[in-house]
Amino acid sequence: MSIISAPKLLVDGQLREGGAVVVDNGMITEVLAEAPAPGPQHLQLPHGTLTAGMIDVQINGCYGSDFVSAQPDEWAAVAERMATTGVTAFQPTFITAPINSLVAGLERAAVAMNAQVDGRGARILGVHLEGPFLSPQHPGVHDPRWMLAPSPENLHSLYDGPAGRVVAMVTLAPELPGAVEAIRRLTANGIKVSIGHTDATGAEVRAAVAAGAVMVTHLFNAQRGLGHREPGVPGMALAEPSLTLGLVADLRHVSAPICQVIFAAAGDRVCVVTDAVASAGMPPGVYELGGQQVRVAANDVLARRLDGTIAGSSLSLDLAVRNLIGIGIDPALVLKSVTSVPADVLGRRDLGRLAKGSCADLVWWDEAYHPARTWVAGRPVESAAETVSI
């Protein structure tokens, strides 16, 4: 058994002054309102804030690896490096590609998930398929040649085989033929559905929600825009209390004032994501994204296809936290948006919170909101800084 105390803790979505968590066998067994007396099993963090580990539900790759084509050694290396930045769980994201390419990627992801050792690197939570059931009217970087209608046959080819068991989330366009029935079927099979790359009207978004959709992918990007008579996707997302709002907080996909509007309107439903590609954590250059080449220029966080189309980001989730706090968003809301909100949208009550019965995935933030230390299942993650054991 070990105890970790800190000057501040994020508990129940609020920043609490003082307190501690008790960790045993990789789990949080108790949350204390006051730190106990010093002792050999008590790690007293001298400053900063203790939160649950961060969760990224939309990340295409990082550290030079694109997840759809990543090999086993890449998966392990990336998971360990991500954990040093405070990300303790992630949902690797595959963009639109031929079905056989997606299935092959799912098979490799399944091998990587089965090979994970508890406490060694960020947890792989299952794959987020961003496509191929998207609208060619809002393709973004996705290749319209490989977009499909979500027919029973196409669903079967992706999800009903062994590889499909690792699919945790699907982004689709709800206006496509058969989409509402597909949402019902996916939801019934435990797969979360997000609305994205879509020209859906407000009424079509409402129908998707009624069928079981729970999220909107990268709000304001690659979707019918907000109107004062036709709310489009952003309007319905902001108004519909059951939808979680995915936000790429690099302040380029969505400007700072609009990020402020989103948090003011729906702060406790915002799920901050990176939409990162293989360039994240790497120098400027050309990288792969789902079989395409994308370029990141010096001093730019945006990745772009060679024709200039925005193709994700080089954002890290801890930088997203600092971006949002830096524009005046309440730190408690920001920290919640990378911990409990993503955990809740995935139905993972065992993650993303400092609470009894949750996994002891933890981040210690310094006063400037840089991750100073990370633990996964109570195990300290090696980093460039000195390791603190518990």
Active site residues per annotation: 275
DSSP readout, 184-252?
Answer: HHHHHTT-EEEE-SB---HHHHHHHHHHT--EESSTTSSB----SSS-HHHHHHHH-TT-EEEEE-SSS
DSSP-derived letter for residue 315 is -
CB 76 within 8 A of CB 112: yes
Q: Give CA–CA dist 259/324, Å, rounded.
A: 8
57 exposure class (CB count in 10 Å sphere: 0-12, 13-18, 19+) = buried
- Rounded Cα distance between 164 and 175, Å, is 24
Note whether 365 and 350 are within 8 A (CB).
Answer: no
What 8-state DSSP symbol labels residue 386?
A: P
DSSP 259-277: HHHHHHHHGGGEEEE--B-
- The three-point CA angle 315-316-318 to 5° equals 130
